[in-house]
Amino acid sequence: MPMIYLYARCSHLDSAESGLGLEIQREQGMAAANRLIAANPDLYFGAIYEDRVVSAYKVDLIRRRAGRKLQEVLRRGDYVIFAKMDRGFRSLRDFCVTTTLWKSMGVKLIIVDAGVDGSTPHGELMLGMLAIMAQFHSAIL
């Protein structure tokens, strides 16, 4: 049975005030998960994985505590939802390595704020562009 998992991350304790807090990411992710389940009754909600106060620029997704746990539970047909691309990836290399692995596993990535489903050719193109922008944003900060 395919599952939907949410991943959320904040890099600073004050992320809630910036609009990037875990609560907002949970709300956006759950809304997207509920829409997916309504459209695909064979999908089930799995869990929310959260990394607190960790840099996506410095630590690859599957090296983070919650990111590693997420990777361990993923199976063919599962979905991973991020509220925003930069909550998962700030490094183009990390994005490419992780999403190539997920694609080989049949795992689909959805980015809520951009409305991107990475399981389509157009979605895959958009994910790549979002990953480039996330890395660029980190570089200029």
Task: Give the pLDDT confidence of 12-42 residue by residue, as tens digits.
Answer: 765 655 667 899 999 999 999 999 999 999 9
Q: 69-100: b or e for each residue (b if 16 or more CB lie within 10 Å)?
A: ebbeebeeebbbbbbbbbbbbbbeebbeebbe
**CB neighbour class for 110 (10 Å; exposed up to 12, middle 13-18, buried from 19):** buried
Q: Determine phi and psi for 40, rounding to 5 degrees.
A: -135, 85
Q: Are 124 and 131 in contact (CB under 8 A)?
A: no
**pLDDT at position 102, please?**
97
| Tokens found for residue 123 | 């979605």
Its pTM surpasses 0.75: yes
Cβ count near 139 (within 10 Å): 9
Tell me the per-residue pLDDT of 59-70, one tens digit each, with 9 for 90 and over: 999 999 999 999
Q: Which of 65, 78, 82, 74 is nearest to 26 (CA)?
A: 82
